[in-house]
Structure 1
């Protein structure tokens, strides 16, 4: 009904325009719709003539079903009826025309409904209608096995043609914008063109040359020239099967076109003439090989016509065909993208290096305004300018004045201000404005100290900014070097993985290689990649590749899986914490995580003071440090960069934070502790407890350019423990008790010993500060 109302409204609008203007005006949309309707009528007539098995014509019905219930469907129905009566005669044409009318009626009845918008509705309805009408029509004849097979094939082809015709029409029905065709649309258009050629194969000139077969031969030749052997063979087989089905003969054309497509495709880089010669000779051999079944001399004429048309085809047409047949992105595209990214990173890193070099002289120093001589020069300009003895003091007796001021300066600098006895008597007695001169000199001395402090701070800040540029250049350079690192593939394991994925029915592109540290890495992309992250599948792949693996979690990527080599060691951690009495939150913040490189990082920060402000400061430090470490920045560089940033921030807020970082390699057991003003760390190896301390200030107190963390490196074995605490645990009463508790720990429950330490600290009067204890134990991973 919606279509009927739309047609009525358009007719009414056109009639009103005719009454007003006296003529019929066809606008661009109306012309486009007229052309579309004419195309559907023409396609309906042509596809109705595409016969298989000597009289079955399913393709016109498929077009009617795909065109729907609108004007397109109506004109497709009219064209199909015209074609069926023209090609099939009255009796057979009546059967197919009745089926077409019923298919259109079903589409019209369900138009606008939810069911009609389903992709399977039109193909299924067309197949059912054809099955019913065909069964009624053929019920008067004997149902021989061949009839059953051919009729069943026709029903299936009706549904298939309806499905693919609907996809073929989608590029201009959905949107008329210039968008690249999808693979399904390209295949559907090729199938639609093939069925049209089946009808045209009945049209002959000079009594033997078929227009449809000549066009099919030209299509094979064009595709072989543009796409090579694979495209030539595929199009040759498809076109040959269509021609064989329409001619009721043996599969001769499939053999001839496929052979010619392969041979001409092999010469597609040698120029058009070589392609055409290979194509003609291959078809000539196919004709000679079929000598006993009757010579197909018409094929030679058709191939000759196709070859001439091929040689006359413009290059632009060949380029468009080549664009349609272009293969998927080659394997080296990823390598090119990585090379491009590496080059951009290297250029950016070099730019920051040049900026660092340019800023270094500026950051090293500035204008010298700290000379102590300016103290008396500026005091004299303020006091002595109006004195009557100015000429006597600063010209005639300049040497004695200069000596008097030099004698007073050391005491003034040491004390921080000047007093009367600092000056010789001959100067202070002679000076008529000595109290004013002394006061002005003290003001200038105080200003000198302030300028020195300010410029020192400015110099530190400039140096930190300059160093940050250098650190950024180093980080970008390291990232570029990592991109350029050679990754060693493992073809044997990759082949086993591909075979396993194929056997499981998983469609994935996979790669197996060793990273820059020589550890196995498996990457898979595709719809089935998410299955590889399941525990049972990870266990199965570990056995298949003879290397223990673990999945990396990637947020938002269901179509990608990354498995890395599993570490031989594992870390078991336990933590306990208690806030300061009277506070709502603790100023201590801790975190631990494992990176892709198999290292475990444990962070423990203690903000200045207690309460929400300290909690916010320590939490921000932990978050930033974790992001640096996850990004691959080395711990030393990450800590220096963060300390410099906190130093700049501390000028405004006056806050600081202690940082305690443990980095443990689960492949080797090597560990390192980095400290910025943090409490001691305790390492338990057997019955021995070692105390690891540092002398650096908390982050934010020392200038960023000179702040370096204390680093202690050691080796851990299975069963060894590392205890990290904040300064509130041990308190001011010493840590002998803490080391004794750790020494007696049997390693059974890290969480329990952490809780015991916090409880003991509370009993020893440690409630005046926040307390956090984190114990990590290294274990051998079970097989």
Structure 2
């Protein structure tokens, strides 16, 4: 029994330690909130009511059970009839919150908290206040005084819950509700300590002096004045001028010296009290001011008041901006690697289809096998002239049925052999078995040869692409200390971020900065963005402000100068079911790619070639590979096929940041650019992809601008005698047309002119200036 008891005790202790370790943050918040709830629960306001403790309890979300214990203990310590009313009101309020969360699904329950909305918490405080007021009215004998107290209690509880929530809710810290919450906390703290003295020193006045000085040091003179008047109103209305002057001078003199600001503001405040309340005010408040100075100055020395987040933010590699920037860079790197992985997956799928077709016999190969096998059996057969009148030997037409069965992968039977003598073929079973065995051996050799080639190709292309991606990481995500230094020197960035600014990236800049004044950062984010644009000499996108605890993280990235809209249209060759051409567009970072591929010939074989080109190029370009690397990979893949396979490729690479463009042409038709009513022709004489071992794609560089329209077509849209002059002539008549209208017009013209003699694919791209609305 003793061993079982020890084991149970050990298990319980382990469970408790595990629970505390897992929920440490919530328990700490709950303990702090419990102390504040107990403190505010003793703050008596008008009509002998104390609604602030209940209001704070209703505003708490994290660590709510622990905070509830603090409120209950506070009520029991006070004792009397008020204890019953307060505990009842708290029970009704908490029950109301949980009911809304569970029954109406207006919130989310956690182990040590309740994530519900602001309206639910205000409603709960009203319900709790109504309970407290109802009990007071019943016990008080229905007096008018208690009715007025009930109205005040309900209004004060609802308003205080709203104000406290602005201080406690992280998602509302960027709004003015944050300042209202801070003001409510300051007022409630001083009011809760009214009448409490230690060794003749009023804790309420000590708290008022300390909070006034802290607010002035942290936020400046204006905040110091407001905090001073709030503290004066909570302690004694006659002391408002004294605390107001103290806060104003502390905020005004703090930039010179923290210690001078604190001491001179206290002295000036006391002399102001001397003017308003006489010598008694000076002597009665001087000890409290001295105690407050003894509290504030050490806190100032250890950096606990003036921008308390500053030390954590300006800690080199561990600063919040640096961490956020590193996390963003890591996230973008993961996205790049994910796209690279998707590229290999797509290529693997395409290669699997190619491999499956490569391991099957072609019809010509099957005919050769059938001819060899059947000739070995039929050459000495007496019935060969009956089976094959005339020559006495099988011909391709007679063997085509058996060859098709071999190509399909099915087993050849005697009924699949060439026409036989009516009396039957004496070698039918043996010939069919020999055909099946020969086909199996041939396909095995094809499979082994294909596996070796595919392995070699995969290893080479994977190594090349991953190496290129790794080499580009530093250029994309490396830190730009010079740009960061320029931003740190800006007054707005110095004021709000205290030097915690990070810039990374090469052409595509990413700006990250963090500071403690979340509300001001959020309100001034457009001003900060424009200042950064001027310093970096580039446009930035709409800035974002995210909140991490008590800090705000400002992020912005370079904005594109241009945008695009595009359309495509296609038509298959007459009497063909599929189009042998393909077109696609893909985006990767600041680049956009538009491609037209034209497979050899028409029909299914051409469609297979163009689809393979589209899959490989599209996946690799999306993964971040350069166009030359992607074309080389496609060329190597096409050359591995046993059957003849090639495709023309026309790629337009467009940079959204500066409008630079490049055409990569491999046997493709000329492209056209419509600018200000004039048509410009972009042509090249290069072989298609898949013919030569070393691909010689020609790159043509140019600058595109707002309003330009680019037209790319396959050869089915042009008369090959004048090599695609016709699409350019059509385009010249379509100035101002949309990409859809251009594609329809060129497609209709090709149908009228050539009557579906070839597959036709048309791709039109319109260049637009990017909108930067802020």
TM-score of the aligned structures, taking structure 2 as reference length: 0.53
Partner of 1:203: 196
Partner of 1:658: 648
Give the 5 Å matches for 1:688-767. Answer: 693-703=683-693, 707-712=695-700, 723-730=711-718, 734-736=720-722, 739=725, 743=729, 746-747=733-734, 749-760=741-752, 763=755, 765-766=757-758
Q: Secondary structure at the match of 2:684?
A: coil
Structure 1 residue 675: Cα displacement: 0.8
Q: Partners of 2:27 and 2:707 in 1: how far apart?
A: 84
Q: Is the 8 A contact 1:684 1:743 kept in 2?
A: no
Of 295, 305, 308, 2:291 maps to: 305
Q: Partners of 2:75 and 2:258 in 1: how far apart?
A: 43
Q: Is the 8 A contact 2:620 2:630 kept in 1?
A: yes
Do structure 1's residue 771 and structure 2's residue 760 form an aligned pair? yes
Q: Is the 8 A contact 2:187 2:230 kept in 1?
A: no
Q: Deviations over 1:142-194 (max 9, x none)?
A: 89xxx97x9865543333555677999999xxxxxxxx9x9999997996686
Q: Partners of 2:127 and 2:744 in 1: how far apart?
A: 70
Of 512, 522, 525, 1:509 maps to: 525
Of 569, 581, 592, 1:576 maps to: 569
Do structure 1's residue 524 and structure 2's residue 517 form an aligned pair? no
Partner of 1:241: 230
Q: Secondary structure at the match of 2:688?
A: coil
Partner of 2:157: 158
Do structure 1's residue 214 and structure 2's residue 206 form an aligned pair? yes
Compared CA separation, residues 325 and 159, structure 1 to 2 (3 A): farther
Q: Is the 8 A contact 2:217 2:306 kept in 1?
A: no
Give the 5 Å matches for 1:378-457. Answer: none
Structure 1 residue 54: Cα displacement: 8.4
Give the 5 Å matches for 1:133-172. Answer: 140=143, 154-161=153-160
Compared CA separation, residues 255 and 765, structure 1 to 2 (3 A): closer
Compared CA separation, residues 328 and 151, structure 1 to 2 (3 A): farther
Q: Is the 8 A contact 2:93 2:128 kept in 1?
A: no
Q: Partners of 2:457 and 2:124 in 1: how far apart?
A: 77
Of structures 1 and 2, the larger Rg is shown by 1
Q: Partners of 1:479 and 1:302 in 2: how far apart?
A: 58
Q: Is the 8 A contact 2:249 2:261 kept in 1?
A: no
Of 661, 665, 669, 1:675 maps to: 665
Q: Is the 8 A contact 1:214 1:302 kept in 2?
A: yes
Q: Is the 8 A contact 1:574 1:774 kept in 2?
A: yes
Q: Deviations over 1:316-347 (max 9, x none)?
A: xx4556685659979x9898689989999xxx
Q: Secondary structure at the match of 2:569?
A: strand
Do structure 1's residue 125 and structure 2's residue 127 form an aligned pair? yes
Structure 1 residue 202: Cα displacement: 0.9
Partner of 2:378: none
Structure 1 residue 123: Cα displacement: 1.0
Q: Partners of 2:597 and 2:543 in 1: how far apart?
A: 38
Q: Partners of 1:685 and 1:275 in 2: how far apart?
A: 66
Q: Is the 8 A contact 2:586 2:593 kept in 1?
A: yes
Q: Is the 8 A contact 1:660 1:675 kept in 2?
A: yes
Q: Partners of 2:50 and 2:190 in 1: how far apart?
A: 14
Compared CA separation, residues 152 and 299, structure 1 to 2 (3 A): farther
Partner of 1:258: 247
Do structure 1's residue 57 and structure 2's residue 50 form an aligned pair? yes
Q: Partners of 1:165 and 1:687 in 2: how far apart?
A: 65
Q: Is the 8 A contact 2:38 2:53 kept in 1?
A: yes
Structure 1 residue 656: Cα displacement: 3.9
Partner of 1:644: 632
Compared CA separation, residues 627 and 519, structure 1 to 2 (3 A): same
Q: Partners of 1:774 and 1:471 in 2: how far apart?
A: 30
Q: Partners of 1:327 and 1:614 in 2: how far apart?
A: 62
Q: Partners of 1:579 and 1:60 in 2: how far apart?
A: 78
Give the 5 Å matches for 1:545-624. Answer: 575-580=568-573, 584-592=577-585, 602-608=594-600, 610-611=603-604, 613-624=608-619
Q: Partners of 2:729 and 2:28 in 1: how far apart?
A: 91
Q: Partners of 1:260 and 1:155 in 2: how far apart?
A: 38
Partner of 2:89: 103
Q: Is the 8 A contact 1:197 1:216 kept in 2?
A: yes
Q: Secondary structure at the match of 1:114?
A: helix
Q: Is the 8 A contact 1:589 1:615 kept in 2?
A: yes
Partner of 2:272: 286
Q: Secondary structure at the match of 1:217?
A: helix
Flag structure 2 segments of 5+ consecutive residues without an equivalent. Answer: 108-119, 331-454, 494-521, 547-553
Give the 5 Å matches for 1:454-493. Answer: 475=472, 479=476
Compared CA separation, residues 220 and 603, structure 1 to 2 (3 A): same
Compared CA separation, residues 262 and 235, structure 1 to 2 (3 A): closer
Comparing 301-310 and 182-191, the one that deviates more:
182-191
Q: Deviations over 1:677-734 (max 9, x none)?
A: 223446789999886543322234444xx5342245679999997653323455xx83
Q: Is the 8 A contact 2:121 2:161 kept in 1?
A: no
Structure 1 residue 236: Cα displacement: 7.5
Compared CA separation, residues 653 and 168, structure 1 to 2 (3 A): same
Compared CA separation, residues 752 and 586, structure 1 to 2 (3 A): closer
Q: Partners of 2:750 and 2:153 in 1: how far apart?
A: 82
Q: Partners of 2:539 and 2:230 in 1: how far apart?
A: 48
Q: Is the 8 A contact 1:573 1:750 kept in 2?
A: no
Partner of 1:451: none
Structure 1 residue 279: Cα displacement: 5.0
Give the 5 Å matches for 1:14-93. Answer: 47-52=40-45, 55-62=48-55, 76-77=71-72, 79-80=74-75, 82-83=77-78, 85=80
Q: Is the 8 A contact 1:235 1:258 kept in 2?
A: yes
Compared CA separation, residues 289 and 626, structure 1 to 2 (3 A): farther
Partner of 1:395: none
Compared CA separation, residues 296 and 107, structure 1 to 2 (3 A): same
Q: Is the 8 A contact 2:714 2:761 kept in 1?
A: yes
Q: Is the 8 A contact 2:580 2:610 kept in 1?
A: yes
Q: Is the 8 A contact 2:675 2:708 kept in 1?
A: yes
Compared CA separation, residues 575 and 114, structure 1 to 2 (3 A): closer
Structure 1 residue 51: Cα displacement: 2.9
Q: Is the 8 A contact 2:55 2:158 kept in 1?
A: yes
Compared CA separation, residues 220 and 326, structure 1 to 2 (3 A): farther
Structure 1 residue 288: Cα displacement: 3.1
Q: Secondary structure at the match of 1:304?
A: helix
Structure 1 residue 298: Cα displacement: 1.4
Q: Is the 8 A contact 2:586 2:618 kept in 1?
A: no
